[in-house]
Amino acid sequence: MNPQRITVTLLVAALWLIPTAVRADDVCEPGDRQAGNAQTSRALAAEAAGNLREALQLAQIVNDCADDYAGMRKLVMRASQQLGREAEAAGDLAAAFDFYASGHATERYADPKPYGLLDDASRVAFAMINAQPTDRAVARQMLEFMNRESQSDDVARIQQHIHAQARRLLAEEAIVFTVATPHTELLEEAEAWLQQEVLTGVPESTEPTAADLDKRWVARGDAFAALDYYTALSNAINYYGEADQSDRQQAVQSKARKIADGLANGNDWGEAVRLYDLAGDSERAEALTRSREASAADVEADRKARFDQEQDDLEKELGF
């Protein structure tokens, strides 16, 4: 969170705790108090009429010069909770969470916490995760919220869920992988799940899933490195790169260069060019291309010359 935003929030909270009369003497103009009191009346009237959304919106923007500013903070809390309960009952968990979380933003400055809105938010957070277990965005949002609120037990529970999802993807990849259908997307998705901890600033879990993922990248790289054609060796380098295995990448490049040397003088020289490029030897790739293209041009020139000569000979025989 932005430090300036924290400072402003704490300042607003501190001002709320100061008696209204003192605040009015120090910082409030008569017009500010009048506007705040009018807004307070409208908020209370909306609540009395059962228009909780309107009451909440009005109470949230009442200025702190109103005589009953503290009462408006309480209205925000109770309306947020009631609206959250209604959304929860209707199955709209995202809306329920938003109501509880926004109400808790006000409640956090109350002592004691009168409504338990953080508990409500936590309950709905895990209901959302259970309802959408494969949704990384939901898990990340809840992890950020729990970390921001210093809810270490809830943070640990969400981390367990994250690692369970990564393990699920690793298990699926183990079943479907072949060198013909490698399914890198499953490993990339597992990595994206584990990245949630880094992106949210949460200390990484001690579970071995990240290490397991690196081992899987290496194992798949080994499978491709054992083969002798460009696509396989290119895949090997890419897999090793995901696990930061530069030594293995260099070994594959050396292998690619040796294979290219064996192909350079044969008919499959185009594959040799690609292998030289893969090995990082672009100069040799370019030199081979120029040489073989020049040779091909010479062959074509000879063929055309022979064809032309044969045509001339034929015309002479026919008397043309």
DSSP one-letter string for 280-305: T-HHHHHHHHHHHHHHHHHHHHHHHH
Q: Torsion-angle region of residue 59: left (phi > 0), alpha (psi -120 to 50) or beta? A: alpha
Closest CA to 203 of 258, 164, 267, 156: 156
Closest CA to 271 of 234, 298, 240, 301: 234
Q: Torsion-angle region of residue 178: left (phi > 0), alpha (psi -120 to 50) or beta? A: beta
Distance, in Å, from the CA atom of 55 to the CA atom of 57, rounded to the nearest integer, reads: 6
Q: What is the pLDDT of residues 252-281, one digit of tens each?
A: 999 999 999 999 888 888 898 989 999 998
296 has pLDDT over 50: no
130 has pLDDT over 50: yes
- For residue 27, give both structure tokens: 């910082």
pLDDT band at 309 (very low <50, low <70, confident <90, very high): low
Closest CA to 288 of 311, 262, 314, 310: 262
* pLDDT of the residue at 268: 82
Q: What is the pLDDT of residues 28-86, one digit of tens each?
A: 888 999 999 999 999 999 999 999 999 999 999 999 999 999 999 999 999 999 999 99
pLDDT band at 183 (very low <50, low <70, confident <90, very high): very high
Report CA Rg, the chain: 35
* pLDDT of the residue at 22: 43
* pLDDT of the residue at 297: 43
- Main-chain dihedrals φ then ψ at residue 61, nearest 5 degrees: -110, 10
8 Å CB contact between 16 and 66: no
| Residue 177, SS3 per DSSP | coil
8 Å CB contact between 223 and 253: no
243 has pLDDT over 90: yes
* pLDDT of the residue at 320: 60
Q: What is the pLDDT of residues 22-43, one digit of tens each?
A: 444 457 888 999 999 999 999 9
Distance, in Å, from the CA atom of 287 to the CA atom of 284, rounded to the nearest integer, reads: 5
pLDDT band at 317 (very low <50, low <70, confident <90, very high): low
pLDDT band at 9 (very low <50, low <70, confident <90, very high): very low
pTM for the model stands at 0.78
Per the model's pLDDT, the better-predicted residue between 294 and 188 turns out to be 188
- For residue 16, give both structure tokens: 């709320």
pLDDT band at 318 (very low <50, low <70, confident <90, very high): low
Nearest-10 crossing angle of helices 152-176, 184-199: 170
312 has pLDDT over 60: no
| Residue 57, SS3 per DSSP | helix
Number of helices and strands in the chain (H, E): 15, 0
* pLDDT of the residue at 19: 43
pLDDT band at 289 (very low <50, low <70, confident <90, very high): confident
Q: What is the mean pLDDT of residues 139-146?
A: 97
* pLDDT of the residue at 175: 98
Q: Cα dihedral sign for 81, 83, 86, 90?
A: negative
8 Å CB contact between 129 and 142: yes
- For residue 228, give both structure tokens: 């002798």
